[in-house]
Structures are given as structure tokens and as C-alpha cells.
Structure 1
Amino acid sequence: MRITLPLGPVCDPCCHQLSENPIHCAACGRQRPQAGLDARGHPLCGPCSGEHRNWYCRSCGTIDLLVSTTNCLGCLNAARIDHTLQCTHPHLRAQTDSIRALLLKAYPPRRTAFLLESRHSWFALLTDLVRADEPLTHASLDRRPQGMRIRHLRRLLTSIEILPPRDDAVEDLDLWIDDLLAEQPPHITVVLQPYATWHVTHRLRRARGNSPSAAKYARTRIRCAADFLTWLHTRSTDLTQATQHDVDCWLDHGTTTRRRIRDFLTWTNKRGLTTDLHVPWLGTQGLPGHVLDEHTRWQLLHRCLTDPALDLRVRVAGALVLLFGQNPTRIAALSAENITADGSDTYLTLRDHPVLLPPALATLVRDLAGQPPPADEPRPTDTPTWLFPGRNAAHIYPGRLARLLNRDLGLDARAARGSALLALAADLPASVLADLLGLSIDTALRWQALAARDQGIYLAARLDDDNADVGGDTYPHPTR
């Protein structure tokens, strides 16, 4: 006896879900979409279920729960892609063939159907570009209004090797600078252009591992300089005539972000364009106003190391923030190449030096590194194996990682990082802290001053450790 499922007229979402989750039919033994149950409750495929409908795709012959009465979803997607990506240029045709293979082979049919239907997807943007019948290049993308869709499409085309790799953070900044300079009068452009291109952009190019946050910080400084120059012009004051009083007025009548002008005025002073003008540092001068207390910090760390109900990404990222004071930007960019093993010890390179991980955290890091990358995302052969993968062979966006920590763990990354750095600065000299965690020496010195400790305490503790024949801590210090 066979009992068919009450399929009837199946809506598209249900049809796609059944098609993408095949079972082993109890009657014929083949792997096909489920359409019924036998008397023992075992799954049956469409042809074996007794359901009177067409199960055979007219185009490819696949047995499936068809979207229409004649074709499966994959064939409908293929027909629509062929119609949409029609072109005559031979190089563009080769590029669209790669995109076609991605959509039909790498992506599940339901996801491809969604992309084809959405007017706000990267595929809709790609369709507009293909209509011009010109090869896809970085320059053709640069001519379009810049935004999330352009950046996503650029990353995707780079990941499937249609476009060559390029430094998105710097290139996007160059385009933004061109647009900003086009809006400025000549007397501002003549100063702003060399500052933006020869100083800010040049420094960004030399930075290790450019990130969206680094590019955002660069734009903030350049925009701040442009606003300051515009403000001086409204007061009929030239940059060379600017005084400390002008700077103080500018700072007093705006948000603290205006203190980013410090970098610009340092640059102008070195070139003799201004006198020595003082701008307070934007960072906190004293003890941070909001850091986790030690009890809360250790409670959260214990949960990261022991709670299997938490997302593995949250457990690892949370532990790195709470134990080593790492920020989400640096954590998101970690890859499997940063992990090394020496016997039973596992090390994680946070900057230049490998840091010994506690056994519990080492296990979590290895488990995270062992997870397969998203199966439906294209990955060039030279792509790093990210510990926190995102889409299109990129790592997870740091802001999303910070939101996951806050949502799932209730962890404020900034407060937790401050608490960890205070604890580490109390035990480590500034030079060790800077090298170990990838901090600037000035930042390390500041945290050490906040911790109200000196290097003598650290050296004494190390001498005691060398002379004492005792076991390790529950959570070993990173240098031990």
C-alpha cells in the first residue's frame, strides 16, 4: 500500500525545497525528490508514489518535482540566463559563459531563481552591463555609481577570475577622492589633492591588510580636511593664516570627529603651510569609561570555551577578544595559514609572532579551521582559507562579526577588548605587548600606564615562574 503526500498544486518555494532535498526511494532505491510514503512510512519518489503528474523534465530528462508541467527549475533557469546574457562580443561571451556556469553549477537552483527574479541583485546590475556588449573590466564597473552591489559584483567577478585582483580598499578610495575633488574650488583642491593622494592613500597602500574600516578612516580624515578648508574660506581666512584660535573654534563648534584634522595639520606643518597648531588626540586620555570587570570577563570567556550551544564562530571570536584583546577587524581577517602546531601546542599568529593558545581554545580554533567553506561560493585556488568565511571567497565583514558577538554572547567588543588589554598590560612590558598583539608601541605604552604597572613587576614574575616547579594556569598566559 502506498500513501501519497497531498502535493496538489505545489507553490514554487515548496517545489524548490523538495527538489533540492532528494531522498533514497524505498521502492526503486534511487535518489530522487520525495513525493509519498509507503505503508511503513518509508519515502517514495515521484514515479513510485502513484501521484499522477509529469515527473520527467522535457528538456533534460531529469526526474524532479517540476515547476511547470514540462521543465525542471534548472532548465528554466538556464533558458532565462541564455536569454538575458545574450551578447555578440567574443570576449564578453566567454565571460558570460563563466557566469552561466557559476549560476547553474555552483549555486542551488532556488538561489539562482531568486537572483534572476530580484531587481536589486548583482545579477540585475550585471544584466545592465551586458546590454552594452562590452567586456567586463574594472574600468566598466568604476563608471557605474559605486555602492554595495558594485562591490559585491566586483568581488564575485574577481573570485571566478573574470577580473584580475586589485586592492579594493585603495581603488575605491581613489574613486571617492576623484569625486570629492571635483566638487571643490581650485584653492581647496590645490592643497587637498596632494594630502589625499600622496599622504593618506600612500599610507593606506603601505598598511598591512587593508580593510573597509581602514578605508573609512582615510575618507574621514580627507573629508575633515575639506570641511576645515571650506570653513576657513567662509571666514575669509587662508590656510597659511590659520591660527590656534581658528582651530579651537573649529573644534568647539562640531563633533569630536573634527579632531581627525590633527593628521592634516601635522602634514601641513611639516611642509611649512601652517604654524605648529595643536589638536587634542581623539582617543581617551585617561582610563576608558566602559570596560568589563574581571569577573564578567572570565564568565564570558568560560562560556566561550565550554558552551556548545553557541555558534563556533562566536566562541572563537569572543575568546580572542576576551583573552588577547583583538578587535573584530583583525579577527575576521585570520586564516588557516595563521595556525601552526608544535607537538601538542597550537599557536595563532596575531601579527608577526605566534601566540600559544590554551588547550580549550586551541581545540575550538582547529575545529573552526576544519569546517568546509560554503559549498555554493566560487573560490580561486590562491584564496586564503578564512577562519571566518564570508561570501565570494572573502572573509566575514568585521561589523557583522561584532554584531554576532553582541547578539549571541551579549559581548561589547570594545569594552571586552579594553578589559583584556588592561589585564595584559599589567603583566607585560609595552614592547612585548606591542609585538605580541600587533599594537603600536604608543598604544601599548598607554595601556601599560593605565594598568599602573611597570616592567619590574613583569620581570619579577618571570623569575618566580622560572624558579617555581608548579603546573600551569587554567588559562595560560600568552607568553608561557
Structure 2
Amino acid sequence: MSRPRKAEDPIRWPVPCSRCGQHHQTVARWPDGGVCGYCYQQAKRTRGVCACGHEGVLPGIIDEEPACRSCSGVRLNVDCVGCGAEDELYSGGRCWTCVLGDIVDDLLTDPATGVMATELIPLAAALKSMKRANSGMTWIRQKHVTAFLRNLATAPKISHDTFDELPDSRTREYVRGLLIEHGVLPQRNAFLIRYESWATQAMERVSDPQNLDVIRRYIRWHHQRRMNLMDEVSRGTFLRAKQEVTVAIDLLNWLTGHDIKLPELQQSHLDVWQSEGPTTRRIAERFLKWAIKTKAAPAGLTIVPHRRGTSPRLPKIGQDKALQQIIHTNGPETRDRAAAILILVFGQQAENIARLTWDDVTVTEDLVTIQLGTTKIALPDPLAQPWRELAANPGHELTAAHPNTKWVFRGTSPGRHIHPGHLTTRLSKLFNTRAARLGTLHELTKLAPVAIIAETLGYSPTTIERHATDSASAYARYIAAVNESVLHESPRN
């Protein structure tokens, strides 16, 4: 990544750069004129194919097009003495890739044996073959990363259990992700593992031993049992399970503080507890149903449920305005524009958008289609344009994290899609994603039958039916208001 430019100084550097026209220190004089340090750095990193057919670094400019050293007459040393390739040099006449390769081999080789473990060879190869070697160098030279890789080189065995025994850190999970992505470690249900670890810590917050047994059974037989049956635990399932257990613990600790045993729980106790706290306490309804079913709590108890339909919706005029901004401005990044279209036009959830793969998307010269439910949906222009751009340049392909990924929206973690929360945060600069999604579904139910919308967009019929009922109710209120207005304005006989 290029250094951010400082403010130009015409007084100190009166002669402007021949390339950018700004007043910075001249560091080289080439056939096209004096070049500042920023343009010099950019020239060393410009790669492509010259008009003469030479492929490599193109530091020169001829007729406003990049050109090789021979054609442009630019004198610049970009010949690596290590590999012989044309590239930006880092030190000792060697390019970033060669230096990075030596560092990787040094860190991942066991100093006691002078040999790299067989399991670490794919990781070393991936790190050394990064297209953006300078980014790899920046990452690997951080002290905590260097220390972690040195310790990994001496580990007696490379396995998930080995990683689990190490202190929890972002570096540990990132390297684990690299090893999974490059076939060293097997895939595993990451959210299930995270939930098990979280649950162990959560149970420490239970103040009564009898309630601890209840929570332990609730976690094991209600949540973990259900997760074990899933091919992959989604982020939404993980977060809901955490929230349900957290609220259940809050309820049980409140009972302990008021000297009330769970088998002695009465409706009046529940009403007081719910009224004293935030609205999230209604989530205890799920724990209460389980407790009643397993005879841990008396029958007949209820929690006031969440009243649906109270969340704000982005009105039609707001949806249209946001969509026009997405389509006709170049401010948002391509992937943000592509994701925004799925929310504003098709009412998709961020979690489902994040999980899209290129198997779900087809991009041809004539057509762009996306499969959200059971049907492929064709995107007309200009809605298709951001998707064409994203297919041509998906991003995150310059590091070792995503060598062969199929994720449309790639994340920073190796082999994983973008975090839905991160995607929502990015789009929040443009619109409220939840309000936009609800507003879109509200409008769609006015245009097509429930079954068709549910099948096409990948929603359950019950969810779309609820939006349709709400939409019809709103329309009925509108008609009633119109009729009442007409009645009052009619002349009396």
C-alpha cells in the first residue's frame, strides 16, 4: 500500500512533479521529467505488459500509457539478484518475495533438527507465494506473529487440539484458518467450538449449585444437541444460543437473590422480574418452555412475548433514494454496492448475503443471475453492473488467506466469508439494513403471492405471510381513513 501523501510544499519544492503535478521533493529525473518520491514508489510497483510485448515492471510512461524500461528510457534497478525476476527490491538487491521466503523458512524450521515439519510445508508454500509479499512481510514481522510461528515450528504435533491448548488470540485463529484453508488441518464446526468454550465460562456466572445443574443440562441437551445435528452452525444460531443462555442465567440468579427456587417459581415472580429489566428478558420464554417440559419448573408459567411488527421500516421513497445512490455514485466500494442491491431490491438478510458463493452467481456477457431461494433471479442493468465488477475483481486474492475460495464476499479470516456484522456496519453508512430489509419485504408482499416470494427469496412462507398480513392491514387502515374522509366531506342531505 502506498504511503499517504503529505501536504505539498510549493515554497520548499517550487518545481512540481512531472507526473502528479504536486510540489514534493524530486527523487529521480527520468525522460518524462523530475519525479517525486510518491510517483517513484508507484512506478516501481506498476506491472503489466508493455506495447512492445515485455511483461514485468512498467515504470515509464509513453503517450500516457505505462511502458517498460527499454521503451521509456527509465533507469531503475528492479532486477532481483535472488530469483532474477523484475520486481520491487527490498534489501540486498533482492525482492520482497525472496526476503519473505527466507523469513518464512527460518521461522517454520525447527532449530533443533534443522528440518521443517511436513505439516507446515503447505503453510510455508502459501506464505511464500503471496502475490503481495510486502503485506506478508508486514504481518509476519509483528512480534507476536513471529513468536507464534517459532513456537509452532517446535510443536510435537500439528492438530486442532494443539491449537486449542495455546492461549486464545487472533493470531492463533488466523494461523489455524490458514492451515485449514491449505489442507493441513481438517474443517471443523467453528461456531460449535466457540459456543462450547463460551458456555464453559458462562456457567461460572451461575450463583446457585442447583441452578448450575439446570443450566448445564439446558446447554447440553437443548443447544449443543441441536448444534451437533447441523452440518454447519451459523453465526445467527450461535448468537441466539448465547443470548438465550445469558438471559436464563440472569433469571436464575435473580431467583437466587430473592431466595426463590426454580421449582417454586410463580407467575408473579416472573412478572416482577420481566418488568424490572430490559425487553431482552422476554427471550427467557424459550428457556422457560424447556424448563417446564423437563419438569424443572412448574407448568402454566408464561413470559410476555415480543410484539411483532414494531421494528421501523424504511419507506418506499427512502428505498428508492438509497438505491439510486448505490447505482449512480462511485463512493461505496463494489462489494458494498452489490450487497446493498440484495437488501434494497430483494430484502435479503446480511447473514445470507455473506454466505453466498460463486456457485450461486452466474455472470455472462449477456446476463447476471443470482440464486437466493430455489429460483435463479436475473439482474437487469444497472443492478447487474456492481456484480460484474465484483466478479472481475473479487478482492483479497493477494494474500495466502483465500487461494481458491468460492465466497463472493471474502473476509479477512482465511477461507471465511465476510462477517455479517462487519457487512452491516459498512452498509450502515448508507442506510439502516434492518429497516431497509423490512421495508422491502413490506413492499414486495403487495406485488406477488406469498408462496412465490418465499420460494424465490429463500424465506419461509410463515415469515412472508406475516409481512403480507401487516401490509394488508396497513392498506386496510388507509382505505378506512379515505372512506372516513370522504364521508365527512360529503354534503349532508
What's the TM-score bracket when you normalise by the shorter of the two chains?
Answer: 0.7 to 0.9
Q: Give the 3-state SS of the residue equivalent to 2:91 in structure 1.
A: coil
CA RMSD after TM alignment: 4.2
Partner of 2:69: 44
Q: Measure, in 1, the Cα distance between the counterparts of 2:48 and 2:386.
A: 34
* TM-fit CA distance, 1:208: 7.3
Post-superposition CA distance 1:297-319 (Å, at most 9, x none): 22333444555665332333222
The answer to whether residue 102 in structure 2 is matched with residue 79 in structure 1 is yes
* TM-fit CA distance, 1:356: 3.5
Q: Measure, in 1, the Cα distance between the counterparts of 2:45 and 2:246.
A: 49
The answer to whether residue 279 in structure 2 is matched with residue 259 in structure 1 is no
Partner of 1:112: 136
* TM-fit CA distance, 1:239: 1.1
* TM-fit CA distance, 1:116: 1.9
The answer to whether residue 408 in structure 2 is matched with residue 387 in structure 1 is yes
Q: Measure, in 2, the Cα distance between the counterparts of 1:241 and 1:75.
A: 71
Give the TM-score normalised by structure 1: 0.77
Q: Measure, in 2, the Cα distance between the counterparts of 1:377 and 1:90.
A: 27
* TM-fit CA distance, 1:340: 6.6
* TM-fit CA distance, 1:294: 1.4
Q: Give the 3-state SS of the residue equivalent to 2:384 in structure 1.
A: helix
Matches within 5 A, 1:28-177: 31-32=56-57, 34=59, 44=69, 57-62=80-85, 65-87=88-110, 93-119=117-143, 123-124=145-146, 126-127=148-149, 129-130=151-152, 132-177=154-199
Preserved contact between residue 316 and residue 361 of structure 1 (Cα < 8 Å): no
Q: CA 1:182 to 1:91, structure 2 compared with 1: closer, same or farther past 3 Å?
A: farther
Partner of 2:347: 325
Q: Measure, in 2, the Cα distance between the counterparts of 1:355 and 1:314.
A: 21
Partner of 1:443: 463
Q: CA 1:387 to 1:131, structure 2 compared with 1: closer, same or farther past 3 Å?
A: closer
Q: Measure, in 2, the Cα distance between the counterparts of 1:262 and 1:90.
A: 60
Q: CA 1:60 to 1:259, structure 2 compared with 1: closer, same or farther past 3 Å?
A: same
Q: Measure, in 2, the Cα distance between the counterparts of 1:125 and 1:213.
A: 34
Determine which of 234, 258, 262 is the counterpart of 1:211: 234
The answer to whether residue 375 in structure 2 is matched with residue 350 in structure 1 is no
Q: Give the 3-state SS of the residue equivalent to 2:69 in structure 1.
A: strand
Q: Measure, in 2, the Cα distance between the counterparts of 1:327 and 1:350.
A: 11
Q: Measure, in 2, the Cα distance between the counterparts of 1:371 and 1:233.
A: 59
* TM-fit CA distance, 1:181: 3.2
Post-superposition CA distance 1:433-460 (Å, at most 9, x none): 4444333454334322311259xxxxxx
Preserved contact between residue 163 and residue 176 of structure 2 (Cα < 8 Å): yes
Q: Residue type of the partner of 1:439?
A: Y
Determine which of 245, 253, 263 is the counterpart of 1:230: 253
Q: CA 1:157 to 1:230, structure 2 compared with 1: closer, same or farther past 3 Å?
A: same
Q: CA 1:320 to 1:251, structure 2 compared with 1: closer, same or farther past 3 Å?
A: same
Preserved contact between residue 292 and residue 416 of structure 1 (Cα < 8 Å): yes
Determine which of 412, 423, 426 is the counterpart of 1:404: 426
Q: Residue type of the partner of 2:216?
A: Q
Give the TM-score normalised by structure 2: 0.75
Unmatched 5+ residue regions in structure 2?
A: 1-28, 475-493
Preserved contact between residue 335 and residue 386 of structure 2 (Cα < 8 Å): no
The answer to whether residue 381 in structure 2 is matched with residue 360 in structure 1 is yes
Q: Give the 3-state SS of the residue equivalent to 1:106 in structure 2.
A: coil
Partner of 2:273: 250
Q: CA 1:2 to 1:215, structure 2 compared with 1: closer, same or farther past 3 Å?
A: closer
* TM-fit CA distance, 1:354: 1.1
Unmatched 5+ residue regions in structure 1?
A: 455-480
* TM-fit CA distance, 1:135: 2.4
Question: Which segment is superposed worse, 432-441 or 211-220?
Answer: 432-441
Q: CA 1:14 to 1:78, structure 2 compared with 1: closer, same or farther past 3 Å?
A: farther
Q: Measure, in 1, the Cα distance between the counterparts of 2:344 and 2:61.
A: 52
Q: Measure, in 2, the Cα distance between the counterparts of 1:347 and 1:2.
A: 49
Q: Measure, in 2, the Cα distance between the counterparts of 1:163 and 1:363.
A: 38
Determine which of 407, 418, 422 is the counterpart of 2:442: 422
Q: Give the 3-state SS of the residue equivalent to 1:360 in structure 2.
A: coil
Partner of 2:46: 21
Q: Give the 3-state SS of the residue equivalent to 1:263 in structure 2.
A: helix
Preserved contact between residue 336 and residue 369 of structure 1 (Cα < 8 Å): no
Partner of 1:375: 397
Q: Give the 3-state SS of the residue equivalent to 1:78 in structure 2.
A: helix
Post-superposition CA distance 1:131-164 (Å, at most 9, x none): 5522221112222343544333332221111110
Q: Measure, in 2, the Cα distance between the counterparts of 1:36 and 1:372.
A: 25
* TM-fit CA distance, 1:329: 0.9
Q: CA 1:5 to 1:336, structure 2 compared with 1: closer, same or farther past 3 Å?
A: same
Q: CA 1:280 to 1:300, structure 2 compared with 1: closer, same or farther past 3 Å?
A: same
Preserved contact between residue 348 and residue 356 of structure 1 (Cα < 8 Å): yes
Preserved contact between residue 20 and residue 108 of structure 1 (Cα < 8 Å): no
Q: Measure, in 2, the Cα distance between the counterparts of 1:2 and 1:382.
A: 41
Q: CA 1:82 to 1:378, structure 2 compared with 1: closer, same or farther past 3 Å?
A: closer
Preserved contact between residue 19 and residue 65 of structure 1 (Cα < 8 Å): yes
Post-superposition CA distance 1:36-86 (Å, at most 9, x none): 99xx996537xx7557xx866554445655433454333322222222222
Post-superposition CA distance 1:246-303 (Å, at most 9, x none): 2222222322222221111111111122123211223x43443x21221222233344
Q: Measure, in 2, the Cα distance between the counterparts of 1:174 and 1:279.
A: 27
Q: CA 1:208 to 1:347, structure 2 compared with 1: closer, same or farther past 3 Å?
A: farther
Preserved contact between residue 369 and residue 379 of structure 2 (Cα < 8 Å): no
Q: Measure, in 1, the Cα distance between the counterparts of 2:292 and 2:393.
A: 52
Preserved contact between residue 389 and residue 395 of structure 1 (Cα < 8 Å): yes
Partner of 2:305: 281
Q: Measure, in 2, the Cα distance between the counterparts of 1:161 and 1:211.
A: 22
Q: Measure, in 1, the Cα distance between the counterparts of 2:59 and 2:386.
A: 38
* TM-fit CA distance, 1:183: 5.6
Q: Give the 3-state SS of the residue equivalent to 2:356 in structure 1.
A: coil
